[in-house]
Structure 1
Amino acid sequence: MRKSWTLAAIAVVLAVLPAGGCRRRPAPPAVTINGTTWHVEIADTREKKFLGLSGRKHLDEQAGMLFVHERPKVMAFVMRGMFIPLDIAFINADGRIIRIYTMPVESDQSNLTAYSSEGPAKYVLEVNAGAFARAGVKEGDEVTLTGQIVRR
Structure 2
Amino acid sequence: MRRRALFTATAIVAVVTGLQACRTPTEAATKLDQAQLCIESGNGQKAVTAELAVTDTQRRKGLMGRESLPPDHGMLFVYQESRPPEATFWMYRTFIPLDIAYISEAGEIRAIRKMLPCAADDPDRCPQYPAGVTYTTALEMPQGFFRTNGIRVGHQVDVLDAPGAHCPQPDA
The TM-score with structure 2 as length reference comes to 0.66
Q: Tell me the distance in 2 between the aligned counterparts of 1:120 and 1:37.
A: 25
Secondary structure at the counterpart of residue 148 of structure 2: helix
> Corresponding residue for 1:54?
64
The verdict on how the C-alpha distance between 1:60 and 1:143 changes in structure 2, with shifts beyond 3 A counting, is: same
The verdict on how the C-alpha distance between 1:125 and 1:87 changes in structure 2, with shifts beyond 3 A counting, is: same
Matched residues, number: 123
Q: What are the Cα deviations for residues 46-78 of structure 1, in whole angstroms up to 9, with x where unaligned?
A: 100000000001101111100110011122100
> Root-mean-square deviation (CA), in Å?
1.7
Secondary structure at the counterpart of residue 29 of structure 1: strand
Give the counterpart letter for 2:36 in structure 1: A
The Cα shift of 1:109 comes to 4.9
Gaps of 5+ in 1: 1-24
The Cα shift of 1:114 comes to 1.3
- 1:8-27 alignment, distance < 5 Å: none
Tell me, yes or no, if structure 1 residue 39 matches structure 2 residue 49: yes
> Corresponding residue for 2:82?
72
> Corresponding residue for 1:120?
134
The Cα shift of 1:147 comes to 3.5
Q: Tell me the distance in 2 between the aligned counterparts of 1:114 and 1:144.
A: 27
Report the identity percentage.
29
Q: Tell me the distance in 1 between the aligned counterparts of 2:137 and 2:79.
A: 6
The TM-score with structure 1 as length reference comes to 0.75
Gaps of 5+ in 2: 1-17, 20-33, 163-172
> Corresponding residue for 1:97?
109
